[in-house]
């Protein structure tokens, strides 16, 4: 198995910095790559020194520990300086053309056995890696925001990914104190198709009858959450949510899984450059109206989760672990389905299908539906 000792991170923004810091804290040598030397320095000062100094000031780490981490970190504006890397993680902004160019540059600068991975949240790994020599060393390594706190990492196997590459990435994630799950190359991978469709379904109700406070409360009660789906959207940034939703509709809207339409309310809120106002009035108490939102929300979650398992994108066990770890849901979708019973689950899935959110998964075309084995 390929031994990973030195990693490169292309893109020294919030996500890239957190990925690199996590690796440096786990004993890896880390080389950050940015566009120019000025950016390398300013990003280092902001995301490494400032971040670690705060931890030292709060007593969360010692100065000696900080020095040990910073000694593992260097930066460059030249791709050729990434030549010593055993693994390079691309963490640039979500632009297909930009990412493809980065991998072409990495292919030219790095050793032919250097593992090349993307941290993209929506693009297919196979598409990003087109034309890369030795495609067996390519894969996806999808961290979740904030990458220094969220423990989940999706290890994405595209068709060409070799066993050696996959095993090396699983070991790397575990040494970084992450929880890795195995996912097949698929639009949005495993967790995002569920999370993105959940907020799209919820956002579609926002308007005259349902304010944000009500939708936040419904999502909290329906899924047992401390922080609901409207709150998480604000934390992720509505720009990210809007663009991710658009990408998923483009990928899956006309597919055999289907996908919810882009809500006009999300577009309007994104264009306003303001987050959702979670204190925009009293929470609606009408049980019938609340039930309508909850039923469609749960039906959508159950439909897309079933599609993902039927397409072998992810196993039931990994999916449950991934949802609980990344989204902090107390229970995964398959546990919820089993607890509600499969007849009630089928009713909810049919509501999502009738709403035009998803196509019917194969499992729910049957008259007799067995519970999930978890």
List, for residues 155-213, the tens digit of each pLDDT value.
999 999 999 999 999 999 999 999 999 999 999 999 999 999 999 999 999 998 999 99
Phi/psi of residue 349, each to 5°? -60, -40
Residue 68 has a pLDDT of 96
pLDDT digits (tens, 9 = 90+) for 24-56: 999 999 999 999 999 999 999 999 999 999 999
Which H or E element spans position 60? none
Which tokens belong to 137?
Answer: 């060393």
Separation in Å, CA 12 to CA 32, 47, 87, 118, 157: 6, 8, 16, 14, 25
Identify whether the C-beta of residue 9 lies closer than 8 Å to the C-beta of residue 34. no
pLDDT at 209: 94
C-alpha distances in angstroms, 135 versus 15, 54, 65, 127, 138? Answer: 25, 41, 37, 11, 5
Phi-psi region of 202 (alpha: psi -120 to 50; beta: other; left: phi over 0): alpha
Beta-carbon contacts of 33 under 8 Å, excluding residues fewer than 6 positions away, are 8, 9, 10, 11, 12, 75, 76, 77, 78, 79, 81, 82
In 3-state terms, the chain is what percent helix, strand and coil (to 5)? 55, 10, 35
Average pLDDT, the chain: 96
Sketch out the chain's domains with CATH numbers.
6-184 (3.40.50.720), 191-365 (1.10.1040.50)
Which are the contacts of 103, defined by CB distance < 8 A and separation ≥ 6? 90, 116, 118, 128, 129, 132, 138
Which among 57, 58, 68 is positioned nearest to 25, based on CA atoms? 68
The answer on pLDDT for 366 being more than 90 is no
Token match 């109700």: residue?
Answer: 205
**pLDDT band at residue 222, thresholds of 50, 70 and 90?**
very high
The yes-or-no verdict on residue 122 having pLDDT over 90 is: no
| Percentage of the chain exceeding pLDDT 70 | 100
Output the pLDDT for position 72.
97
Percentage with pLDDT > 90 across the chain: 95
Predicted pLDDT at 167: 97
pLDDT value for 117:
98
Q: Find all residues with CB under 8 Å of 356, minimum gap 6, and list them.
A: 258, 260, 261
Cβ atoms of 327 and 179 closer than 8 Å: no
Assess whether pLDDT exceeds 90 at residue 148: no
Bridging pattern class, strands 29-33 and 115-118: unpaired
> What is the number of helices (H) and of strands (E) in the chain?
16, 8
- Average pLDDT rounded to a whole number, residues 57-63: 96
Q: In sequence order, which residues have a C-beta less than 8 Å from that of residue 52 and are 6 or more positions away?
A: 21, 61, 66, 69, 70
Nearest residue to 22 via CA among 110, 89, 109: 89
pTM summary value? 0.94
Question: What is the distance between the alpha carbons of residues 230 and 238, in angstroms, rounded to a whole number?
Answer: 10
Task: Dump pLDDT digits (tens) for 289-298.
Answer: 999 999 999 9
Burial, 340: exposed, middle or buried (Cβ in 10 Å; 0-12, 13-18, 19+)?
Answer: middle
Q: What is the pLDDT averaged over residues 263-286? A: 97
pLDDT at 2 over 90: no
SS (H, E, C) 119-132: CCCCCCHHHHCCCC
SS3 367: coil
Q: Given this model, what pLDDT does residue 195 score? A: 97
pLDDT of residue 330 exceeding 90, the answer is yes
Give the residue-averaged pLDDT of 85-105: 96
């Amino acid at each position: 198995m390929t031994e990973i000792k030195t990693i490169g991170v292309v893109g020294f923004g919030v996500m890239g910095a957190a990925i690199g810091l996590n690796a440096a804290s786990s004993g890896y040598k880390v080389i950050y790559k940015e566009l120019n030397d000025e950016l390398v320095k300013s990003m280092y000062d902001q995301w490494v020194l400032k971040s670690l100094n705060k931890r030292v000031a709060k007593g969360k780490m010692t100065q000696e520990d900080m020095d040990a981490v910073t000694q593992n970190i260097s930066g460059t504006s030249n791709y050729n300086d990434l030549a010593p890397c055993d693994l390079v993680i691309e963490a640039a902004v979500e632009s297909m053309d930009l990412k493809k160019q980065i991998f072409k540059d990495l292919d030219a600068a790095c050793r032919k056995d250097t593992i090349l991975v993307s941290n993209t949240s929506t693009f297919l790994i196979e598409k990003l890696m087109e034309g890369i020599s030795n495609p067996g060393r390519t894969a996806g390594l999808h961290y979740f925001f904030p990458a220094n706190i969220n423990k989940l990492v999706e290890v994405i196997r595209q068709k060409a990914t070799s066993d050696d590459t996959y095993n090396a990435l699983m070991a790397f994630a575990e040494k970084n104190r992450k929880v890795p799950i195995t996912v097949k190359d698929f639009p949005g991978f495993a967790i995002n198709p569920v999370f993105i469709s959940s907020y799209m379904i919820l956002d579609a109700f926002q308007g005259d009858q349902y304010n944000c406070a009500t939708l936040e409360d419904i999502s909290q009660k329906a899924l047992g959450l401390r922080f609901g789906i409207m709150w998480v959207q604000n934390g992720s940034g509505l720009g990210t949510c809007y663009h991710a939703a658009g990408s998923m509709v483009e990928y899956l809207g006309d597919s055999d899984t289907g996908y919810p339409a882009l809500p006009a309310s999300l577009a309007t809120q994104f264009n306003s450059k303001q987050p959702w106002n979670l204190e925009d009035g009293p929470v609606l108490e009408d049980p019938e109206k609340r039930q309508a939102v909850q039923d469609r929300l749960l039906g959508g979650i159950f439909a897309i989760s079933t599609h993902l398992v039927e397409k072998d994108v992810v196993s039931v066990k990994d999916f449950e672990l991934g949802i609980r770890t990344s989204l902090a849901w107390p229970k995964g979708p398959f546990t919820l389905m089993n607890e509600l019973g499969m007849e009630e689950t089928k009713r909810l899935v049919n509501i999502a299908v009738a709403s035009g959110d998803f196509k019917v998964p194969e499992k729910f075309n049957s008259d007799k539906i067995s519970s999930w084995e978890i």
